[in-house]
Structure 1
Amino acid sequence: MKIITWNCNMAFRKKAEFILAEQPDILIVPECEHPDKLIFKSDVTKSRDQFWFGQNLNKGVGIFSYSDFKIELLSIHNPEFKYVLPLSIKNDEIEFIVFAIWAQKPKNHDCYTEQIWNAVHFYDNLLNKENVILVGDFNSSSIWDKPNRIYNHTNLVNLLKDKNIYSTYHSFYNQEQGKETISTLFMHRKIERPYHIDFCFASKNLIDKIKSVEIGKYENWTKHSDHKPVAVKFQI
């Protein structure tokens, strides 16, 4: 199974063909427009199932299946955590609990991690499931940690670690949070402003089944978005 997250920087209808060339089974797209606006070229592969959530019809989160996986929003969903979406993604053989994420800036400060921190506490029991994935644009990095802030990025990573959930990129490349050698965002599309803020976390049993983790190259994706796709392939 190949899962890809890519913040498309809006207008997904004009860019879908490029990410679909990477052949995802499941695709998570922050900043995706409402399905009613997704009018694709005739030769663009159509998803077999999809789910969208948002308040702005031009800019929500789209989740698409291009295989036999079905997507369902879990009834426990709390809209207070607007873009941390608990989903069941399953076929006849396996089920995943997937949190599709596009972290938003709180009203009273600039730490995007707070929303995810609060959400994972609310959905604590779901994190104990067998096949758990948290994937998307976290807008977060250990380089922005403030020591006295409990919901900083490092504390979130450690909280997930306590649940036996780990970053696929950091596990595969044996790198430390905040010291990534490959970036997922180039602020304002400038190569001199690189950050690693898009993640795919997975439960330990899935970490052991990683076949590959790939991040798109700056020169291939910058004309489409300030973010690069993160693609994780599991041997399942």
Structure 2
Amino acid sequence: MKIITWNCNMAFRKKAAAILAHAPDVLVVPECEHPSRLSFPEGVPPYTDALWFGSNASKGLGIFSYGSFRLKKIRSHNPDLKLIAPITVYGGGFDFTLFAVWANNPEDPDGTYVEQVWKALHHYNKRINRKQTVLAGDFNSNTIWDRKYRVGNHSHVVEKLAKKKIQSVYHLHHNQLHGAELHPTQYMYRHKDKPYHLDYCFVSKDLADKIVSVEVGEFDNWCRYSDHVPLIVHFNIDKA
């Protein structure tokens, strides 16, 4: 099973072929247009299911499944937590709960980015389980921006998830520390000299034990498409 998250920097319809060449089973795409605006070139693999969240039809949070995997929005979704979407993924031989993330809510006076994730961890506390749980997407955060006396910074998010034995697959697989990542996932303004690690896939221990590989895209391969590169996670799970 392969889960990929990639902030496409809008116009996903023009860029889908590049990411679908990596054959995701579940694909999380921040800054994606509404599915009604998607028209793919011939040869682009069709998705099985699609969910979309947002208020701007040109720039929201898209989630796509392929093959036998299906998607269903969980009823407890809180639209005030923009844009963090709880989804049941099923039908592919391994069912799990996915929290798709694009942490971006400029209307919230408490904080635009990681604060959204922090609030979601509390709102969905009972849904975020020690098993069969994935949080993936653009968190727009990193420990390097922690504000020491601000509750709900990136390190607080990491620590709260760790208490449920949920960890970042990149940091686990590559033995990295938060705030000292060797592989950036975003290059501000597509400048190679402005790298940051902002995109994550956190998983419960049952999934962490099945990690085969965790790949971060290379700048030179992806800068023509987006200021972000994909995070590609392969698990040793048989698909239906």
Compute the TM-score of the two structures, normalised by the length of structure 2: 0.96
**1:178: which partner in 2?**
179
Q: Distance in 1 between matches of 2:185 and 2:92?
A: 33
CA–CA separation in structure 2 for the residues paired with 1:95 and 1:129:
14
Q: Deviations over 1:59-112 (max 9, x none)?
A: 111111112111000001111112100000011632110000000144436551
Q: Which runs of 5+ in 2 are unaligned?
A: none
Structure 1 stretches of 4+ with a deviation exceeding 2 A read 105-111
Q: Structure 2 counterpart of 1:131, which letter?
A: Q
Contact preservation (8 Å) 2:130, 2:166: no
Which letter does structure 1 place at the counterpart of 2:88?
A: S
Which residue is equivalent to 1:153?
154
Aligned positions, number = 236
- Secondary structure of the residue aligned to 1:15 is helix
110-119 or 173-182: which moved more?
A: 110-119
Amino-acid identity (%) = 49
Q: Which moved more, 1:9-18 or 1:96-105?
A: 96-105
Contact 1:31 1:61 in 2 (8 A): yes
Runs (5+) with no aligned partner, structure 1: none
In 2 relative to 1, CA 171–45 (structure 1 residues): closer, same or farther, beyond 3 Å?
same
The residue number in structure 1 matching 2:74 is: 74
When normalised by structure 1's length, the TM-score is 0.97
For residues 17 and 93 of structure 1, the distance between their equivalents in structure 2, rounded to whole angstroms, comes to 25
Residues 168-207 of structure 1: matches in 2 within 5 Å?
Answer: 168-207=169-208
Q: Deviations over 1:44-68 (max 9, x none)?
A: 1110111111110101111111121
Query: What RMSD over aligned residues (CA atoms) do the two structures have, in Å?
Result: 1.1
Does structure 2 conserve the Cα–Cα contact (< 8 Å) formed by 1:130 and 1:203?
A: yes
Per-residue CA deviations over 1:108-155 (Å, capped at 9, x if unaligned) read 365511111001100000112520000000000000001001110001
Q: Distance in 2 between matches of 1:98 and 1:36?
A: 23
Match of 2:77, SS state, is coil
